[in-house]
Amino acid sequence: METTTLIWLIPLPPVLAFFLIVLFTNKSKALSHTIGVGAAALSFIGSMVVFVRALGVEHLGEHPFESAINWLPTGDTWFRIGVLIDPLGAAVLFFVAITIFMIFLYSIGYHNYGQPAGDHDVKGLPPHGATIEEHGHKHVVPSVEPMYSRFFAFLGLFAFGMYTLVVSDNLLTLFVGWEIMGLCSYLLIGFWYGKPSARDAAVKAFMTTRIGDVFMLLGIAFLYSATGTLTFREIFTEETLHRLASTPAWFGMTASGLIALLLFIGTVGKSAQWPLHVWLPDAMEGPTPVSAMIHAATMVSAGVYAVLRMFPLLTADYGEHGLTVTMSIVAFIGAFTALFAATIAVAQNDIKRVLAYSTISQLGYMIAALGIGAYVAAAFHLITHAFFKALLFLGSGSVIHGMEHGVLHTGNHHVDPQDMYNMGGLRKKMPITFWTFLIGGFALSGFPLVTAGFWSKDEILADAFGHGHWAVFITLAIAAFLTAFYTMRQITLTFLGEPRTEEARHAQETPWTMTTPLIVLSFFAVTYGWVGIPEHFPLLGGLVPNWFHEFVGHTLPEVREAPEFNWIPLLTSLVVALGGLALGYFTYRNVKSVSEDKFQIPLLKNKYYFDEAYNFLFVKPAYWFAENVVYKFLDKRVIDGILHAFGPSTQGFGSALRNYVDLPIINRLIGDGSANATYWFGGKLRVIQTGRIQQYLMLALVTFIVIGAALFFFVLA
C-alpha cells in the first residue's frame, strides 16, 4: 500500500471500534475488547510499517510523506487538510502506537476481565469484588468492571484523537485531535462518575484545559489571519517566518512570538504546566490505564508535541542576542514547573499522585528544553519519558490492583490501596511489577548509562549548560535531584522493607495481560536511550550512532549542533541522580509510618495551597458571580422581570382588544349584526313563501305583466 494512504488509514480503526462498540457490541464484553484491542493492533501495525518506511527514506526532513485533500471552500480557494509524517512525526508515531497498544492490552487485566460480576457493583463505581464459593468456603475475588465495554469505546475514541494529532499536517486537524482527546480525558477521568471526587476531577480537568485551548484557538486564528494557511510546511517557509518575525506585535513581541505564545498557552493547559497544572493530579481519579495513557504518555505529551511542531515559529526571531520574550517565558514556565512539581511530589503519599506530579515536572523539563531551543533534546525526552512514565503508571496500577486483592482478602475496606504507607515489601509478592517498576523508576531518576531517562535528561542539561542558560541549568539540576529522591522514596515505601499492613501481606501478582505491557515498556525504557547517545560522550560515544539526533534533528531545515561535550553537566547529572536515589533510599529505608516521614511539610503536602488559592481567587468569585449577579440579579430580576412584564402587558393588551374591538365591533356589529339582519329579512320574506304553487304562478304572472307593460310603455313605445 502507498505509504501516504496507510498514514491516512492509521487513525481509522480506533474510531471505527468506538462506533462499533457503542452502537452494537456494548452488551458483549469479550467482543468489545476484541474489537478495541484489534483496532489498536491494526493502528499499531500500520504505524510500525510507516515508521520502518520512514527510516528507509533519505532526507525525510525535506521530503516527508505527505498528502492533502481539499476540505473547506474558502472563497475561491480551498482549505486543505492532510497527513504528514516527517522525522519528528515518525518518532512520535512510534512511541504513541506502542504505548496505546500496550495500554489497551493492560486494560483487559486491569478491569478484571474473566472475573465474575460483582455482588453489588453498580455502573459508575469501581467494582467492589464478588463472593464465590470454592472448596466449601467463601472468599472474595475481584469483580469485573460493570462498564467494561464503554471503557474500550472511550479508549478507542481517544486513540483516534491522538493518531489524528500526530499525523496531521496542519494546525486545525491537530487541534481537532487535541480537543477529541480533551473530551475523552474528561469522559475517562469521570469514568467512575458515581464518585463525587471523580466527577469534580473530570470537570476540573475539562475547565482548566479549556482555558489553554481558548488561547490556542486564538493563536490559530491569529496565525491564519496573518499567513492564510495552517499547514505546517507552508508556514515554516523561510519567507513566511521572516515576515512574521519582522512584524511587531504587542509587548515587544513579534507576530511570530505572540502566535507561539498563544499556542504555548494551549500547551500549558494540556501539558499541565504551572499555573494550569492543578487538574493533572486530580485526574488520577480515573482508572489507572487512563492515567498512564492520557495523563502520562500521550495526551499531555501532545502539548509538548504541539510546541515541537511550532518550534520554527517559536524561534523565528531568535537571533544572536539571547532568548526572545516568548522563549524566555516558555523556558521560565518549564523550568519553574519542573522544580515546583518535583517539590510537591516529595510529600505525596498516594502512589499515583506522586507520579502525576512527576509527570508535570518532567513535562516542565521538556518545555524548558524547548524554551532554550534544545529541540532534539526535548523530543528525545518526550519519547523516553512517554515510555518510562507509562511504565510507571501501569506499574502503579498493577500495585494498586495487587493491593486491592489484599483488601478483598482481609475485607477491611478502610485501607486505601493507593496509599504508599499501606504498602511495603511488595517486591516478593509482585516480582514482575517490582522489577519493571524499578526500571521505570531508575529511568525517571536518570540512573546513569543504562536507562533511557539518563540520556535524554543529560542531553537537556548539557544543552542548557552548553548554551549558557545558567538559571535553567541549575533549576533543572535541582529538579532532577528531587526527582531521583521522590522516585526512590516511592520505590522504597512500596516495594522494599516489610509489609506495613495485613493487606500488603496478601497482595498478589497481576495477570499476564497486565504484566506483558510492563515488560514491553521496560524494554523500551532502557533501550530507547541508546539511540541517542551523544557522539562525544566518553567511552560510549560513537559506539552506537546518535541516530535520534540525526533523524529527528533533520525535521528542521537547520539542525542546531549538539553542544560540545563538557564534564560539568555530566557530573551534575550523575551526582543528582545517584545522590537523589541514595538519599531517598536511606531516608525511607526504616520509615514505618507516615508520622516518621520528615517531608510531610504542610506547604508541600497541600501543593503550595494552589487548589485553595484558585478556589479563593477564581472558583469562589465565579460561584459568587453566578449566584448573586447572574442568578439573582440578571436572571431573576432582569430576564424574569422582562418575561414577567411581558405576561401582564400582553394580557392587558389582549383584554383591551377583546373589550373594545372584538366584542363590540367584530362580535356584535359584524357577527351578530349580520345574523340578525338576515333573520329579520327572513322573517319578513317568509310570508310570501306560502307553499301554494298557484299563488307563485299568480305572482309570476302579475310580475310578468307589470314588467311586460313597463317594457312596452317605456322601451317599445
List residues binding another protein (CB under 8 A).
686, 689-694, 697-698, 701
> CB of residue 698 vs another protein: minimum separation in angstroms?
5
Radius of gyration of the CA atoms of the chain, in A: 36
Residue nearer to another protein on the CB measure, 543 or 698: 698
The half-sphere exposure of 81 on its side-chain side, counting CA atoms within 13 A, is 15
Residue nearer to another protein on the CB measure, 75 or 691: 691
> CB of residue 714 vs another protein: minimum separation in angstroms?
23
Residue nearer to another protein on the CB measure, 645 or 697: 697
> CB of residue 672 vs another protein: minimum separation in angstroms?
24
> CB of residue 689 vs another protein: minimum separation in angstroms?
7
CA angle 97, 99, 100 (to 5 degrees): 65
Burial class (CB within 10 angstroms; exposed 0-12, middle 13-18, buried 19+) of 425: middle
Give which of 145, 114, 148 is closest to 129, Cα–Cα: 145
Residue nearer to another protein on the CB measure, 545 or 708: 708
CA-CA distance, 404 to 126, in Å (whole number)? 11
> CB of residue 710 vs another protein: minimum separation in angstroms?
20
Please give, one letter per residue, the 3-state secondary structure of 71-125.
Answer: EEEECCEEEEEEEEECHHHHHHHHHHHHHHHHHHHHHHHHCCCCCCCCCCCCCCC
Residue nearer to another protein on the CB measure, 70 or 689: 689
> CB of residue 650 vs another protein: minimum separation in angstroms?
49
Residue nearer to another protein on the CB measure, 666 or 700: 700
The grid cell for 221 is 486564528
> CB of residue 688 vs another protein: minimum separation in angstroms?
12
Contact (Cβ atoms closer than 8 angstroms) between residue 392 and residue 355: yes
Residue nearer to another protein on the CB measure, 638 or 697: 697
Residue nearer to another protein on the CB measure, 539 or 687: 687
CA dihedral 441, 445, 449, 451 (to 10 degrees): 30
- Exposure string of 648-662, with b = 16+ CB inside 10 Å and e = fewer, is eeeeeeeeeeeeeee
The Cα-based distances of 75 to 79, 234, 595 in angstroms read 10, 19, 68
Residue nearer to another protein on the CB measure, 27 or 686: 686
> CB of residue 676 vs another protein: minimum separation in angstroms?
20
Phi-psi region at 670: left, alpha or beta (left = phi > 0; alpha = psi -120 to 50): alpha
Give which of 638, 386, 686, 319 is closest to 528, Cα–Cα: 386
Burial class (CB within 10 angstroms; exposed 0-12, middle 13-18, buried 19+) of 278: buried
Residue nearer to another protein on the CB measure, 625 or 704: 704
CA-CA distance, 296 to 204, in Å (whole number)? 17
> CB of residue 682 vs another protein: minimum separation in angstroms?
11
> CB of residue 715 vs another protein: minimum separation in angstroms?
21
Residue nearer to another protein on the CB measure, 641 or 682: 682
> CB of residue 687 vs another protein: minimum separation in angstroms?
10
CA-CA distance, 386 to 382, in Å (whole number)? 6
Contact (Cβ atoms closer than 8 angstroms) between residue 331 and residue 318: no
